[in-house]
């Protein structure tokens, strides 16, 4: 089970530049790792527009001899305790699965960003 987001610029030039720069950064990093150890950058299409896709898993299955730290779901993530009740069968919600949400607002009158 995972949480995902898909971003698109609906063809804007700035979004295309940003997506291309992400490709370059991924390639630069991939040169420093063994082949097939990195997942490819998540890119896709929405209708005819390029997208940037990102996701995180809610749970991991810890590897033998590892000591992951379990992290409780916040009330924002799991208001009814449903996800917490699914932690069974060797799966854990760890610090690697934690999600932080951010918002960005652009004031239409003066263009300030908060």
Q: Does 53 lie in the same domain as 73? A: no
Is 114 contained in some domain? no
DSSP-based three-state secondary structure for 22:
helix
Render the burial of 84-93: b for 16+ CB within 10 Å, e for the rest.
eeeeeeebbb
Q: Could you tell me the pTM of the whole model?
A: 0.58
Q: Are residues 1 and 53 in the same domain?
A: yes
Q: What's the CA gap between 19 and 29, in Å, rounded?
A: 16
Indicate whether 9 and 43 sit together in one domain.
yes
Q: What is the pLDDT of residues 83-93, one digit of tens each?
A: 888 877 778 88
64 and 52 in a common domain: no
Structural domain boundaries, residue 45: 1-57
- In this prediction, residue 15 carries a pLDDT of 92
Please indicate, yes or no, if residue 112 is contained in any of the structural domains. no
**For position 96, what pLDDT does the model report?**
78
Name the percent of the chain lying above pLDDT 70: 94
If asked whether residues 11 and 52 sit together in one domain, one would say: yes
What CA–CA distance (Å, rounded) separates 80 from 96?
A: 22
For 107, the token pair is 């004031």
Model pLDDT, residue 74: 84
Angle value at C-alpha 78, between 103 and 7, nearest 5 degrees: 35
- Domain check: are 43 and 11 in the same one? yes
């Amino acid at each position: 089970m995972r949480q995902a987001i898909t971003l698109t610029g609906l063809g804007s030039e700035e979004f295309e530049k940003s997506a291309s720069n992400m490709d370059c950064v991924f390639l630069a990093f991939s040169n420093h790792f063994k082949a097939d150890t990195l997942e490819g950058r998540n890119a896709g299409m929405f209708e005819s527009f390029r997208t940037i896709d990102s996701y995180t898993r809610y749970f991991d299955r810890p590897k033998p001899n590892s000591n992951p730290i379990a992290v409780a779901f916040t009330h924002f993530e799991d208001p009814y305790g449903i996800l917490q009740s699914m932690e069974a069968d060797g799966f854990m919600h760890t610090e690697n699965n934690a999600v932080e949400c951010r918002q960005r607002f652009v004031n239409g009158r003066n263009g300030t960003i908060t």
